[in-house]
Structure 1
Amino acid sequence: MRRSGSLARQMLLVGRPGRRRIESASGTTTIILPERRDLESRRSGQVRRRGHTRTVTAAPAAIAPTTPTAPAADPAPASGGLSIPLLPGPRTPARRIRFVVANACTVGSLLLGMSAIFLALNGVSVRWAALCLIACVVFDGLDGALARKLGVASPFGAQMDSLADMCSFGVAAPVVVYAWLAGSAPVWLAMPACALVAVCAAIRLARFNVSPKDGRFFCGVPTTMVAAVLGLSTLIQPAIPASARAGAVAVLALAMVSSFPYAKLPRLLRLPPWLLVLPVVGALLDYRLTFAGVVVAYLVSGPLVWLRQRNT
């Protein structure tokens, strides 16, 4: 029987319990009998109704348009999920104390570098600024040795050491040298030479962080050694013209970013004993000339070792 009105109306027949009759607008009548499932019907996917299986085809219903749902947002990270431990491994009280001691040397080097800048800018004797710069070199050598000896070496310590080196050797060293050269060398020559030290130190430290390490040689002169040479030069003030001093500063800066291999300290200590005694004897005679000769010999050793490695 055809009826008009809504698209589909449901009418519950009074009579046998559980029986329902649905009459749609298209005239199709669907009778739904009560369901009773048994074990076999579960396996086969059929529905057995009162001893016989009856398939009833219903009229297609209108499908409501579906609205695409937005992807579920990722759960917010826990409050402690963003914190990265500065000290890998077990963080016992004793190990934390050793970690603080090793990094205190790095902080000390940073503070000494800032002190060297303040002393150089305030017109105090430039030699005091040079002494602070040399103390930076000592503390820089202590922090890495202590971290390895105490077993608290970490990526945080390596990055902290690199940033402190940039402050002490990339900024403080050229400021101290400029204060030393400002009264004698022309400004147009002293300023570019000191600025070149800062630029080359930044390049050198960045390259060192991403380059593979060699246990025998440095790739270029390390910033620590350049800062030590500049600090000692400011202290002893070698008797050379001011323009030559500015040129020597520029040569040291370029040596930091060179690719020549320079021997590390353990390799230098394995040299013949007479080579190690010779600078000591020379320092007793003329320490300024001996210091200049040792620096020049080390700078020349890089190209010589490079040529030897290339020919072998």
Structure 2
Amino acid sequence: MRRSSTFARQVLLVRVGRRDGLAGSGSDLVTPGQGYADRQRIRYGRFDADVEAVRPISPALPMTAPVDESPAMSIPLLPGERTAARRAKFALVNACTLSSLMLGMLAIFLAMQGEVRLAAVCLIACVAFDGLDGALARKLGVASPFGAQMDSLADMCSFGLAAPVVVYASLAGSVPPAAAAVACALVAACAAIRLARFNVSPKDGRFFCGVPTTMAAMVLALTVAIGVPVPGLVMVAGVALLAFAMVSSFPYAKLARLLKLPPWLWFVPVVGALVDIRLTFALVVVGYLVSGPLLWLHQRRAA
């Protein structure tokens, strides 16, 4: 009952203030008192009356949070010392990232013109630039959150969009368009999920959680470039399997760990590539994909 009378008193003060303002100084603006300086003000009356008063506290009128009018702050792209030399190094690293992005766009344009093998070569160059920018950033000491986010966006464009477009163009005429479209769309969707999960997950120096998008794009690009002789439907199934492998939880060894394998294990695929590069490539890809579930089972038994 007391709050209702307070609300009525506030409305009466607004009306009296408007009438007194018209009779006095010609202004009808009613400002809140000193005791209510921290209260939110609200406009009453017609749109041209310019009448303001303190918003009354009432259960019927929920309190609203004040609007933060502080100016936006710009975060520096390159943390630390901003010398000319460090800026040049930072620009070089980002140039590698943008080169990967531009080559991915070029691969899409070439695939639309039917040059699928040349488009696949552009994707292989994308993989090279993607590995180069991260290594340069760490070597030159200019690694930054901005560079990591930019690299992730470039990977999505080159490996999540350009790679499935090139594969779709290579499958044209050999499989039903709907089947090829579904398999390639799975690659794009799983690449987005894989990159987002990688950005928010803790880093493991030994294994990948799922097949990385870079390696998946390399497999697709080499498959198109060397022309692996497999039926179209088998190719579609392999593309879909590779997409699901990207978002799986199976551990896959990183390149640094693979380089520590015994030399004779590297000698076998090299000799096989000299005999039949297509068959050797297919066997290496299948072996790497199968290694994830096998390693997962081994870790579960050892735990």
Q: TM-score range by the shorter chain?
A: 0.7 to 0.9
Q: CA offsets, 1:265-292, max 9 Å, x none? A: 0100111111011000000111100000
Aligned to 2:238: 248
* Structure 2 CA distance for partners of 1:94 and 1:292, relative to 1, 3 Å: same
**Equivalent in 182, 189, 211 of residue 172 of structure 2:** 182
2:92 aligned partner: 101
Cα distance in structure 2, aligned partners of 1:275 and 1:165: 30
Q: 2:215 aligns with which of 225, 247, 269?
A: 225
| 2:142 pairs with 1:152 | yes
Structure 1 residue ranges (4+ consecutive) displaced by more than 2 angstroms after TM superposition: 65-78
Aligned equivalent of 1:69: 37
Unaligned runs of 5+ in 2: 1-32, 41-65
Instruction: Specify the alignment match of 2:102 in structure 1.
Output: 111
Corresponding residue number in structure 2 for 1:162 = 152
**Amino acid of the residue matched to residue 178 of structure 1?**
Y
Structure 2 distance, partners of 1:75, 1:207, is 32
Is residue 2:247 matched to residue 1:279?
Answer: no
Decide which of 270, 281, 286 is 1:296's aligned counterpart. 286
CA distance in 2, matches of 1:255, 1:263: 13
Q: 2-side partners of 1:75 and 1:172: how far apart? A: 42
Distance in 2 (CA, whole Å) between partners of 1:66 and 1:298 is 74
CA-CA distance at 1:189 after TM superposition: 1.2
3-state DSSP of counterpart to 1:240: coil
- In structure 1, how many angstroms separate the alpha carbons of the residues matched to 2:85 and 2:105? 30
Matched position secondary structure for 2:36: coil
Which is richer in helix? Answer: 2
Cα distance in 2 for partners of 1:128, 1:276 equals 28
Number of residue equivalences: 245
- Inter-partner Cα distance in structure 2 for 1:74 and 1:255: 46
Please tell me whether residue 258 in structure 1 is matched to residue 226 in structure 2: no
Question: Could you state the TM-score of these two structures normalised by the residue count of structure 2?
Answer: 0.78
Distance 1:69 1:170, change over 3 A: same
Report how far residue 69 of structure 1 moved. Answer: 2.3
Q: Say if 1:69 and 1:213 are closer, same or farther in 2 by CA, change over 3 A.
A: same
Secondary structure in 2 aligned to 1:262? strand
Deviations 1:219-261 (A, max 9, x none): 0000000000000000111111011001100011000000000
SS at match of 2:77: coil
Give TM-score, length-normalised by structure 1.
0.76
**Counterpart Cα distance in 2 of 1:118 and 1:82:** 39
Cα distance in 2 for partners of 1:92, 1:191 equals 49
One-letter amino acid of the structure 2 residue matched with residue 87 of structure 1: L
Deviation at 1:188, TM superposition (A): 2.0
Percent of aligned pairs with the same amino acid: 70
Q: In 2, Cα distance between the equivalents of 1:286 and 1:191?
A: 30
SS in 2 for 1:294: helix
Quick one: structure 1 residues 74 and 129, their matched pair in 2 at CA, closer, same or farther if it must change by over 3 Å? closer
CA 1:140–1:75 in 2, change beyond 3 Å: closer, same or farther?
Answer: closer
